[in-house]
């Protein structure tokens, strides 16, 4: 989760590098490569999220319900965020809020809060899969 904060900071950083050196410079291309590398590492969060959701299920019967709720909690923000982010970006640039960088500051704050929240996750003490395997033996 901490890498998402770096990715969010990468957008204004890339803009800054492009304005200084141009988009065809080797400096910009290296910065862009590092940005996409960090973004790719963050992509592993989707796989980990699926594993955490499956581990959060207290029983086999609840697994499908928890997966459904998880998918809704993923898809709903994905449906709303384009309109919200575009409006926030436009207002940030148009009104010169924090020099047009309000959207990046808010995204950085939210990703930092998400990172702090991810530190509260705990290991399950009781696993229904282990009990099920023991009963099969």
CA 100 – CA 110 distance, rounded (Å): 18
CA of residue 81 relative to chain centroid, distance: 13
Distances (CA, A) of 69 to 9, 63, 74, 126: 30, 10, 9, 22
Q: Where are the domains of the chain?
A: 2-136
Closest CA relative to residue 42, chosen from 75, 9, 84, 18: 9
- pLDDT tens by residue, 116-127: 988 888 777 777
Residue owning tokens 């020099």? 99
Its pTM stands at 0.73
Average pLDDT, the chain: 87
Q: How big is the chain by its Cα radius of gyration, in Å?
A: 20
- pLDDT tens by residue, 40-75: 988 888 788 888 888 878 888 888 898 899 889 889
- pLDDT of the residue at 78: 86
Task: Work out the pLDDT band at 133, boundaries 50, 70, 90.
Answer: low
């Amino acid at each position: 989760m901490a890498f998402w904060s770096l990715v969010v900071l990468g957008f204004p950083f890339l803009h800054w590098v492009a304005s200084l050196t141009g988009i065809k410079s080797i400096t910009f291309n290296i910065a862009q490569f590092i940005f996409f590398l960090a973004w790719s590492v963050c992509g592993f969060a989707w796989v980990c999220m699926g594993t955490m959701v499956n581990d959060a299920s207290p029983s086999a019967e609840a697994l499908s319900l928890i997966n459904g709720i998880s998918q809704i909690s993923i898809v709903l923000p994905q449906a709303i965020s384009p309109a919200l982010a575009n409006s926030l970006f436009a207002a940030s640039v148009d009104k010169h809020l924090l020099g047009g960088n309000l959207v990046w500051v808010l995204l950085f704050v939210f990703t930092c809060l998400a990172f702090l929240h991810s530190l509260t996750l705990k290991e399950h003490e009781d696993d229904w899969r282990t009990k099920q395997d023991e009963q099969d033996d």
